[in-house]
Amino acid sequence: MIDNIKRLQKLILTKSAIPKIIIWVALSLSSIVIYLIHPIFHLNENQILYLFSSASQVIAAIFGLIITGYIFLRNELDRKADKDETLEEIILLLKTEYFGSIIGISITTLASISLCFLVIVSEKHHYTTHVDYLINVSVATILTELIIIKSFVIRILNPNSIDIASNKLRDITTQDKANESGSLEEFLQHYNQIEYILEKYGTSLMFSDLTDYESAKRKRIAKSKLVHILFKEGKIDLQLKNNLIELISFRNSIIHGTDLYVSNKDVDLSKENLASLKNSLGVG
């Protein structure tokens, strides 16, 4: 399961970079072609110096605001994950997607400011031919950054962001994407029994003074952490540990997503994991 999430993180970062590059190339080529055919604006030296010096300052200010907002966003996501353990993997995917956007914004910010400085320097040295192309590429880079920022803001303000990330998580954890005909009730019955066993036996290993299940339940330890505890104590093997973590992630994606269906293989896996866990812990 962890390997699948890491692969999805790399895929998200890669996919987020491709559209940005395409937008920048398209805007740059369009701007240069329009300039070669018929320039729309004719700027004198003072206008060029003023516009691009101001643009670099505005871009730097916007970038600072975006980074500040991103820090608060990360803290808010971490608080959500701390309050609700079922959001842990979902929040991880969201933070990966947002981090990819921040990387894109950082790169375009650096490129935009650098190009603005080059335009100013070239204009002062009267590199006429180079300045014309630099101006067009600089404008295209600045527009690309504004588009990326707008897209980022829209995504973080989307009220359905948790649902979207949950559906992505479900796609990588389901056992059968083609056959969605399993019994959700049966799946949840198996999972609830697994959850009961994990809380009862896993928590008792950490807190030996607990005498009943209700006391263990109030400790609110993440189910995935309880699985790791049982594995480190030699109560379950590696395969069962990985299967349980994957099952926990899949169940979390169901309760927070919009697709409440499970496949027969998912139901069978929950039943097999329950039987294996009972056998490993000697539960009747």
What is the distance between the alpha carbons of residues 47 and 59, in angstroms, rounded to a whole number?
18
Q: Give phi and psi for 260, each to the nearest 5.
A: -100, 30
Give me the pLDDT at residue 1, please.
Answer: 47
131, two tokens: 């300045």
Question: What is the phi/psi pair of residue 282, to 5°?
Answer: 70, 35
What pLDDT is recorded for position 15?
63
pLDDT at 10: 60
What is the CA angle 189-194-200, rounded to 5? 125
Question: Which residues, at least 6 apart from 18, have a Cβ–Cβ distance to it below 8 Å?
Answer: none
Report helix angle 45-83 to 128-157, nearest 10.
20
Separation of alpha carbons 78 and 128, rounded Å: 52
pLDDT at site 11: 56
**Nearest CA among 175, 176, 232 for reference residue 205:** 232
The per-residue pLDDT string of the chain (284 residues; one tens digit each, 9 = 90 and over) reads 445 555 555 655 666 677 778 888 888 888 888 877 777 767 777 888 888 889 999 999 999 999 999 999 899 888 888 777 778 778 888 888 888 888 889 989 999 999 988 888 877 666 566 778 888 889 999 999 999 898 899 888 888 888 887 777 777 666 555 555 677 888 888 888 888 888 777 666 555 555 554 554 555 677 778 888 888 888 888 888 888 888 888 888 787 776 677 778 888 888 888 888 888 887 76
Please give the structure tokens belonging to residue 208: 């030996």
- pLDDT given for residue 172 in this prediction: 66
Contact call for residues 246 and 2 (beta carbons, < 8 A): no
